[in-house]
Amino acid sequence: MMTFLVVIHLIVSLLLIAAVLLQSGKGSSMANVFGGGGMETVFGAETPAIMNRITTVLAIVFMINCILLTTLSFKYKSGTVIQRELQKHSAPAVPSEEPVQPQIPTPPTNVPPAQNNVNTQ
């Protein structure tokens, strides 16, 4: 469900950006880039009204989708990745039956004794 809503959100976002940029504004706009104002003839004489309706509908769908994504994110909340990793590492180890004795290192047996090279004069 979340993946579907995120994909819809991305598509609506891109369409909303395109709808806003294609509207003819006061002066130059992106609509003039694609043919010098030929956008007015695509939908007939009612192009500004149609573009306003398309932008309004896309904006409403965008906001509803934002609210749905926000409410569903709280439903699926399982903590952050950092919190999950801290819980894994902070779990107490199960104590063993026998206490662990520290190991005392033993010196190697086949090392020749050190020679004293000090001059005694």
CA–CA gap between residue 102 and residue 106 (Å, rounded): 13
At 59-93, the pLDDT tens digits run: 999 999 999 999 988 777 766 777 777 878 776 65
Residue 36's alpha-carbon distances to 28, 29, 33, in angstroms, are 9, 10, 6
pLDDT of residue 106: 73
Highest mean pLDDT of the ranges 15-24, 43-52, 92-101: 15-24
Among the listed residues 58, 81, 76, 73, the one whose alpha carbon sits nearest the alpha carbon of residue 8: 58
pLDDT grade for 103, boundaries at 50, 70 and 90: confident
Where are the domains positioned within the chain? 45-77
CA–CA gap between residue 68 and residue 35 (Å, rounded): 39
At 4-40, the pLDDT tens digits run: 999 999 999 999 999 998 886 655 555 556 655 555 5
pLDDT of residue 67: 95
* pTM over the 0.85 mark: no
pLDDT of residue 39: 52
